[in-house]
Structure 1
Amino acid sequence: MTITKAAIAQQESVELSVVIPTFNERENIVPLVERLRAALAGISWEVIFVDDDSGDKTVDVVRRLSLVDRRIRAIRRVHRRGLAGACLEGILSTSAPIVAVMDADLQHDETRLTAMLAMMRSSRIDLVVATRYAGEGSSGEGFNRIRQAGSQMAIGMAQRLLKVETSDPMSGFFMVKRALIDELAPRLSQQGFKILLDVIASSPKPLQIGEISYVFRPRVHGESKLDASVVFEYLGLVLAKWSGDLISPRMLLFGLVGLSGVIVHLTALRLLLLEGFAFSISQAGAMLVAVLSNYTLNNSLTYRDRRRRGLRFLTGLLLFAAFCSVGVVAGTGVSSLFYAQEPQWWLAGLAGAMIGAGWNYITSSMITWRRSG
């Protein structure tokens, strides 16, 4: 295929790329594109929708629009999930020197993009944060009281633990130099929903950060993606950056799930013993219950970007259980030896649980979810 000089010039002239991660946002695509066209008149721009294989075929709407407007592009990600990873993939796919990231739900004020771009052009700013918590910014229209309180709490945690100097490190609406992301990409997490915080906390040198206030709008179409797993991912990201990346968010989540598995294990063991079962039988049963609990939670939280669903959930459970059966046998043997020497049910149970947890980690990270991703 021959690429004309005009086409090359057109690609090189793009100054601003707007990266928009999507998951089931079909109804918002057309109105968002119309708003971008109006807001960015006179600017050389493109928009890249990075879709996590939406069930509502969001990417089909984007592709139809791209047939009549070459400034619109789509990236479809299969077997991959996560807003941070989608944003990173979109940013690294463009040659534009400046990249904006915003949501597809129409809650971000696209008219602020021109002011953000002007700030990037006129000063030595590394990134511009569109903030809801400074100047004339507000989040009242887009958040209920519970979500607003949670957002403020998360911001306070990031500012205190990570020394982040911006009023809205939780913002999903910002503009950044692509060269900075190129440099930081190996340090950034593919998980989570807050790539801005990751960018700021991962930089080895202080960044020059500007702020533009905006009013956070209420969602019109679709549903919010915020759930309990997002909260866990955020806590994992904060602690990972606080530890200097010694602990990855996935490792931390796996550890928390493992801790819950210990509680499940000991609870099941105690209940089975109270029912009159022999210790070896009770221990084996408790370990199997903990395996099921750990698999379900890791599938929903730790490996949500590679989550197994439907029949694949069941085949994954069988695969996981098959490998964990070795841990069950070893853990039962070790705990029975402990119990014979020192008949403390909780100490013997804990020893067996540790054996099972170690094998659980190996099978999870190297086999079960690696194969499903």
Structure 2
Amino acid sequence: MRASLPAELAVVVPAYNERSNVALLVDAVAHALPDVHWEIVFVDDDSPDGTAQQVRALAQADARVRVVHRYGRRGLASACVEGILATSAPIVAVMDADLQHDETILGAMFRRIRQGDVDLVVGSRYVEGGGMGEWSRRRIAMSRLATALANRLTGTAIGDPMSGFFMLTRGAFMASLPGLSSVGFKILLDIAASAPAPLRVAEVPYTFRTRQHGESKLDSLVLWEYLQLLLDKAFGHIVPARFISFALVGGSGVVVHFVVLTVVLETLLHLHGAADEERWFAIAQGAATVVATSSNFFLNNLLTYRDQRLKGMRLLWGWMTFNLVCGIGFLANVGIASWLYQRRNYLVVSALAGIAITTVWNYAMSSIFTWRRRG
């Protein structure tokens, strides 16, 4: 009877390769919320370990268990957004699938938000009674620095804005939804920074646990994602975060371009002399463009389009299409740069003009053909 009632609370759980944890988490949530009509929505990014299949098996025995199976896209923040939109519950909690968040405080969080005077209840590691568990001093220091930056951005007083464990009302989420970036892994920061008015916040302390099963999803690129989110919240109303990332990667491509251009041009001039300098410059500019374009492709695949990262044969096909659609930009690059150089413009001016053409073309075409969303 309880499972057939409308859910008062939905627990949204983004998951990737968490097969061994899902049953444990469902059981833990059930024990933590004995008097609440709840449901749990796992959002699985097509885990190769069969996480989605395991959740479906659990759902066959318990109607309160659901799964949103995503294909062709990844990302913790966007998974949380899709999970929240997939439920009709008036109150929604977000927590990780790795059992590091203390589910026993869900009841206290729910009772607090039901009082009606707050929009958001955060499971906090930084208020009295909370703790970081077995984190190293270096990781704690980095977390506190990120927290200070986050609070300056949001304008909302949250002791732990980097927390991935929180509960909010449907109204608060829907108000923030139009401004969400869905970038990276800090969805709470995204929601708070996107709210049209400062959120009313309460915090419940908990101690962060040590992962028991599976592997951590945090890697060396999470800092990049965090910086992307901060940039998007600060400047996203002017230019998208993905474009900012693309431009930063393009900056590294400029360095690669000039290094290759200089080496190839100096080599050709040394071998053949300066009698046909314009021709050697065109060849050097072409070589530099090819190398810089490939460098930009692989870096953008790793950073800018991390949530749509190409792998295996799709990586090879993506590289081919990236170079193919950049063909027109390549020809314009070499043509314009050579035309300017022949008219006695500085090498830097000539090369930058060609780079500008290629950069604009690459950005437009890559979003359409190379990293187009699937599913």
TM-score range, shorter chain: over 0.9
Structure 1 residue identity aligned to 2:96: D
Distance 1:189 1:234 in 2: 11
Which residue number corresponds to residue 173 of structure 1? Answer: 165
One of 260, 264, 279 as aligned partner of 1:272: 264
Q: 1:201 and 2:193 equivalent?
A: yes
- Report the CA distance shift for 1:118/1:371 in structure 2 as closer, same or farther (over 3 A): closer
Q: CA deviation at 1:372?
A: 5.3
SS of aligned partner of 2:371: helix
> Which consecutive unaligned segments of at least 5 residues does structure 1 have?
1-5
1:183 partner letter: A
Where 2:339 maps in the other structure, the secondary structure is: helix
Matching of residue 87 in structure 1 with residue 80 in structure 2:
yes
SS in 2 for 1:19: strand
Match of 1:46 in 2: 39
AA aligned opposite 1:300: L
Task: Please give the secondary structure, in 1, of the residue aligned with 2:268.
Answer: coil
Residue of structure 2 in register with 1:156 after alignment: 148
Find the residue that maps to 1:334 and give its secondary structure.
helix
Q: Distance in 2 between matches of 1:157 and 1:340?
A: 49
Kindly provide the CA deviation profile for residues 304-357 of structure 1, in whole angstroms up to 9, marking residues without a partner as x: 222221111111111110111211111111111222233533332222111111
> Does the CA contact (< 8 Å) of 1:308 and 1:372 recur in 2?
no
CA contact (8 A) 1:140 1:148 kept: no
When normalised by structure 1's length, the TM-score is 0.93
Map of 2:307 onto structure 1: 305
Question: Is contact 1:232–1:253 with CA below 8 Å preserved after alignment?
Answer: no
Gaps of 5+ in 2: 270-279
User: After the TM superposition, which parts of structure 1 deviate over 6 Å for at least 4 consecutive aligned residues?
Assistant: none
Residues of 1 paired with 2:373 and 2:100: CA distance?
Answer: 37
> Are 1:126 and 1:176, in contact at CA under 8 Å, matched by a contact in 2?
yes
Q: Which residue of 2 aligns with 1:229?
A: 221
Aligned equivalents of 2:296, 2:30: Cα separation in 1: 48
The AA in structure 1 aligned to 2:146 is A
- Aligned to 2:61, what secondary structure does the other structure show? coil
Residue matched to 2:115: 122
SS of the aligned residue for 1:302 comes to coil
Count of equivalent residues: 365
Deviation of 1:371 (Å): 6.1
| Residue of structure 2 equivalent to 1:16 | 9
Q: Give the match for residue 3 of structure 1.
A: none
Alignment correspondent of 1:368: 370
On the 8 A contact 1:237/1:248 being kept in 2, the answer is no
Q: Once the 2 structures are TM-superposed, how far is the Cα of residue 145 of structure 1 from its aligned partner?
A: 3.3
**TM-score when scaled to structure 2?**
0.92
Which residue matches 2:96? Answer: 103
Q: Identify the range of structure 1 (315-324 vs 28-37) with the bigger mean alpha-carbon deviation.
A: 28-37
Deviation at 1:183, TM superposition (A): 3.0
Q: Secondary structure at the match of 2:83?
A: helix
Q: Is the 8 A contact 2:73 2:373 kept in 1?
A: no
Q: Does structure 2 conserve the Cα–Cα contact (< 8 Å) formed by 1:24 and 1:55?
A: yes
CA distance in 2, matches of 1:17, 1:323: 44
1:33 equivalent in structure 2: 26
What RMSD, in angstroms, separates the aligned Cα atoms of the two structures?
A: 1.8
Give the Cα separation in 2 of the matches to 1:286 and 1:220.
49
Shift of 1:253: 1.1
Q: For 1:117-159, what per-residue CA distance to the aligned partner results, in whole angstroms no more than 9, with x for missing partners?
A: 1110124110101111111111142x33333222222111112
2:120, 2:201 within 8 Å by CA — same for their partners in 1?
yes
Identity of matched residues, % = 49
1:162–1:238 Cα contact (<8 Å) kept: no
SS in 2 for 1:81: coil
Asked whether the equivalents of residues 156 and 198 of structure 2 are also in contact (C-alpha less than 8 Å), the reply is no
Query: Separation in 1 of the partners of 2:266 and 2:133?
Result: 52
Q: In 2, are the aligned partners of 1:50 and 1:87 still within 8 Å (CA)?
A: yes
Alignment check: 8 A CA contact 2:4 2:63 kept: no
Which range is displaced more, 70-79 or 149-158?
149-158
Amino acid at match of 2:76: L
Question: How far off is 1:207 after superposition?
Answer: 0.9
1:137 pairs with one of 108, 130, 134: 130
What CA deviation, in whole Å up to 9, does each residue of 1:154-208 have, x standing for no partner? 1111122332311111110000012222232222123311111111111111110
